[in-house]
Amino acid sequence: MVNLHSLPPSALRGEGMTSQRARDRLVTKLQEEGIRDDRVLEVIRHLARHHFIDQALHSRAYENTALPIGHGQTISQPWIVARMTEVLIERGMPQRVLEIGTGSGYQAAVLAGIVPQVYTVERIEELLRQARRRFRQLGIENLRSRHDDGKLGWEAEGPFDAIILTAAGDRVPTKLLDQLRPGGVLVAPVGSPSQQVLVRLTKGENGDIEREELGPVSFVPLLGGIG
Q: Which residues are catalytic?
A: 76
| Chain centre distance of CA 65 | 15
Nearest to 145 by CA among 160, 133, 161: 133
Length of the chain measured in residues:
227
What are the C-alpha distances in Å from 227 to residues 17, 122, 123?
34, 9, 6
CB neighbours of 195 closer than 8 A, spacing ≥ 6?
A: 216
d(CA 203, CA 184): 6
The per-residue b/e assignment along 172-198, b for 16 or more CB within 10 angstroms, e otherwise, is bbeebbebbbeebbbbbbbbeeeebeb
- Angle at CA 200, nearest 5°, toward 69 and 209? 130
CB 112 within 8 A of CB 6: yes
d(CA 22, CA 5): 21
Longest dimension (CA), the chain: 53
